[in-house]
Amino acid sequence: MNIEELREFCLGFKAITEETPFGPENLVYKVMGKMFALVPLDSEFPQVVVKNTPEKNEFLRNEYSYINTAYHFNKVHWVAIDNTLKNPALTRQLITESYEVVKKGLPKKLQAELE
């Protein structure tokens, strides 16, 4: 997935905002105010940082050479897909899982609003 495809895919979820709290070189996608994806605009290859369970992230880091710990993020909960061009289907799946993980962590009131 290239940058535009990443952007369109992230914006396709319900109750999403696109922000630049870390400067103009990083697009941050939030659901109800909570970040679920970050897309750096200055990396060599299209990249995305996503959240998942510690077990899933450990599996991903061991299974795929282009999935690593995310720089400046909690190493247990976040991973960086360093080249989204390698496996676009997996990238879409992991972005979707990140959205779901973050959504499940929202307070019940916000989850109800989202439905």
Q: What is the pLDDT of residues 34-49, one digit of tens each?
A: 999 999 998 889 999 9
Tokens of 1: 């997935």
Residue identified by tokens 């676009």 is: 88
Q: Which of 12, 86, 17, 103 is nearest to 48 (CA)?
A: 86
Domain boundaries, the chain: 3-106
Which pTM value belongs to this model?
A: 0.94
**Phi–psi pair at 37, nearest 5 degrees:** -155, 150
At 3-37, the pLDDT tens digits run 999 999 999 999 999 999 999 999 999 999 999 99
3-106 folds as Aspartate Aminotransferase, domain 1 (3.90.1150)
Helix (H) or strand (E) holding 10: helix 3-11
Question: How far is it, in rounded angstroms, from Cα 35 to Cα 71?
Answer: 15
